[in-house]
Amino acid sequence: MKWQDGVIYANQVVKGEILVCRNVLLACQRFLNQLENKEWEWEFHPAAVDHFIKFASLLRHAKGADAGKPLVLEPFQILLICGIYGFWSKKDKGKRMTTDVIVYIPRKAGKSTLIAVIGLYELIFGEKGSEVYTLATSRDQASIVFTSAVGLIESMPQEVAGLFNVQKMHITKLGDSQSMFKALSRDTKKTGDGLNPSCAIIDEAAQIIDRNSIEVLHSGMVARKNPLRIYITTASFTKDTKFYEDLLMFQSMLSGEAPDNPRWFGLLYGLDPQDDWRDPLIWGKANPMHGISVFEEAIAARAEEAKYKPATLNEFLCKTLNVFVSANSAWIDRSHWDECGAPVDTREPEAVFIGFDLAATRDLNAVCTLKRYGEDDFFAEWKFFLPEDALGYVPQHYQDIFRNAKDSGILHLTQGNVMDDREISEYIKQQAGKYDIKEIGYDAYNAASLIARLHDDAMPVKKVGQGMAVLSNPSKHLEKLILGKNIKHNGNQFLGWQLQNCEVYEDVNGNIKIRKNEADKSAKVDGIIALIIAVHCSLDHPIDSGSYGFRTF
């Protein structure tokens, strides 16, 4: 292992000899540009990187098939070490350039071992009284990192292992009682209050929703000359996190959309938007350990399962290919939904049903009009309503989705900061003027005044309970219609996004309920729920009058 291996890796990436996603390509080019820049305030010190590599070469794997074998850093890991420890100030020789690091990488890429090596190195070779903390999402995750560090110490030559003092819950540096290596976990509420971290390693940062647990560690580092904060994580099912905000910021730096801050460094592995997850040729882009600790045969088996079991797709995309998704257990692969896109049907429908789902007074409201032409022949259209002031509260990462919905006409912004449901009732009345509406189903939540107005106009309204007993059958029927391409729509991306946010819950009796992933409170599924309500009404009024309905109270 030598520092040049990291530079060679970066060059191979830039030359296209190693297939990676655009973010990694940009990071490698950025690193090489920094390396060649002789005119700025930082300079590269190979000896600093070699010092870390020499320390790592003393370590051996503590468990698994490689137990007892020397620890060998892969080229991408050496590039990471070059980025962290290579650059130092020309004016102040003791000041390191990099303070914030993102290692965005899938499962089974050696994250825990790498965390432990960096943590032990910072404990021994950081400033006196170094405090190294790893923050994890749970006690179990925290113990994995700590146990890995202890195992590495046990594998060291005695003269090196003697530099560490291993306690039950922490590790200290011999002769420095103020030093500390300790794992913190969210479920014990130990968030770092009152600490003075020199190094904070946030493990599985994408899953930590409580931003305070990260910020309190970061704010405690202000007195350190060479603080080091490292996000090391796989993708997750929510974007409402401190990590995701910083990920977007660093991506903007890489792409040139935001001013570059050289104190940030990162390698962001994953897929590009145009990549087809079914294509084995692109799997290696997402994981630099592909073929080393992650084998194609195992990925192929998971991919094949994901093709036929939609509930496993999001897990595969998120944890194997490092793609952010909005639900833990996907309901329907979006590709099936997109294949149902079609021009507006001009035929006269056999029956028309409306379902609507009202949210809080400052949130999204959805109305679905479902046209039935036959038992397995439907066309659905939607209208959404949102107070215009509420658009400003939509998270930045969803702003484009809402903006495109508004521009397409499917989303109507109402005046003010609260919803005036009279505009919704007027829209429903307009639909009733265009079609002979057989039934209007609704979720009773927040619907009292609107329903009163529809009652006054003699509209055929019906309360549809939101329990599993009521919605299981129409949900399953809708799934069948989508998979059979028997329900068409105009292909608006706002609905495709909402379908991706749907997860399915199944009870022991096989009943299902479609719901939003609660970890991502900003994700929306209202349009899909309105469609399920409309399908419920359709099933309650079958074409064949001799058939049984499905009404459940």
Q: What is the DSSP letter of 509?
A: T
Q: Is pLDDT at 535 greater than 90 in this prediction?
A: yes
Check residues 47 and 216 and name the one with the higher pLDDT. 47
Give the whole-angstrom CA distance, residue 232 versus residue 84.
13
Q: Is pLDDT at 468 greater than 70 in this prediction?
A: yes
Query: pLDDT grade, residue 326 (50/70/90)?
Result: low
Instruction: Please answer whether residues 203 and 115 qualify as being in contact, where contact means their C-beta atoms are separated by less than 8 angstroms.
Output: yes
Query: pLDDT grade, residue 360 (50/70/90)?
Result: low
Check residues 17 and 359 and name the one with the higher pLDDT. 17
Give the whole-angstrom CA distance, residue 484 versus residue 314.
21
Helix (H) or strand (E) holding 359: none
pLDDT of residue 287: 87
Give the whole-angstrom CA distance, residue 276 versus residue 300.
14
Give the whole-angstrom CA distance, residue 259 versus residue 197.
28
User: Which residues does 291 contact at the CB level (< 8 Å), separation at least 6?
Assistant: 284
User: Which residues does 177 contact at the CB level (< 8 Å), separation at least 6?
Assistant: none
Query: pLDDT grade, residue 27 (50/70/90)?
Result: very high
pLDDT of residue 311: 57
Query: pLDDT grade, residue 310 (50/70/90)?
Result: low
pLDDT of residue 293: 65
Q: Is 112 left (phi over 0), alpha (psi -120 to 50) or beta?
A: alpha
Give phi and psi for 548, each to the nearest 5: -85, 145
Q: How far is CA 268 from CA 111, 231, 288, 520, in A?
A: 14, 11, 11, 22
Q: How far is CA 323 from CA 201, 307, 423, in A?
A: 22, 16, 38
Q: In the block, which residue shows the tokens 């050289």?
A: 262
pLDDT of residue 193: 57
Query: pLDDT grade, residue 194 (50/70/90)?
Result: low
Give the whole-angstrom CA distance, residue 474 versus residue 502.
15
Q: What is the pLDDT of residues 267-287, one digit of tens each?
A: 999 998 888 888 888 888 988
Q: Is pLDDT at 189 greater than 80 in this prediction?
A: no
Strands 171-173, 164-166: pairing is: antiparallel
Closest CA to 236 of 9, 523, 473, 37: 523
Query: pLDDT grade, residue 551 (50/70/90)?
Result: very low
458-463: long-range pairs with CB below 8 Å, 24+: 459/428, 459/429, 459/432, 462/537, 462/540
Q: What is the pLDDT of residues 103-117, one digit of tens each?
A: 999 887 778 888 889
Q: Is pLDDT at 170 greater than 90 in this prediction?
A: no
- Is the pTM higher than 0.85? The answer reads no
> How many CB atoms sit inside 10 A of residue 398's CB?
15
Give the whole-angstrom CA distance, residue 238 versus residue 331.
17
- Percent of the chain at pLDDT > 90 equals 46
**In this structure, what token pair is assigned to residue 476?**
């399953």
Averaged pLDDT of the chain: 87
Check residues 519 and 392 and name the one with the higher pLDDT. 392
Give the whole-angstrom CA distance, residue 266 versus residue 254.
10
The two counts, helices (H) then strands (E), for the chain are 19, 19
Angle 400-265-237 (CA atoms, 0-180°, nearest 5)?
45
pLDDT of residue 167: 86
User: Which residues does 4 contact at the CB level (< 8 Å), separation at least 6?
Assistant: none
Closest CA to 429 of 449, 410, 413, 450: 450
Query: pLDDT grade, residue 188 (50/70/90)?
Result: very low
Q: How far is CA 161 from CA 69, 158, 174, 247, in A?
A: 17, 5, 10, 36
Q: Is pLDDT at 427 greater than 90 in this prediction?
A: yes
Q: What is the pLDDT of residues 60-104, one digit of tens each?
A: 877 766 777 888 899 999 999 999 999 999 999 899 999 999 999
Q: How far is CA 446 from CA 216, 393, 420, 421, 457, in A?
A: 39, 21, 11, 10, 19
User: Can you tell me the mean pLDDT for 205-223?
Assistant: 82
User: Can you tell me the mean pLDDT for 127-135?
Assistant: 88
**In this structure, what token pair is assigned to residue 98?**
């990099």
- Going along 33-159, which residue ranges are E strands? 42-44, 87-89, 100-104, 131-136
pLDDT of residue 519: 65
Query: pLDDT grade, residue 531 (50/70/90)?
Result: very high
pLDDT of residue 491: 92
- Percent of the chain at pLDDT > 70 equals 93
User: Can you tell me the mean pLDDT for 127-144?
Assistant: 82
Query: pLDDT grade, residue 528 (50/70/90)?
Result: very high
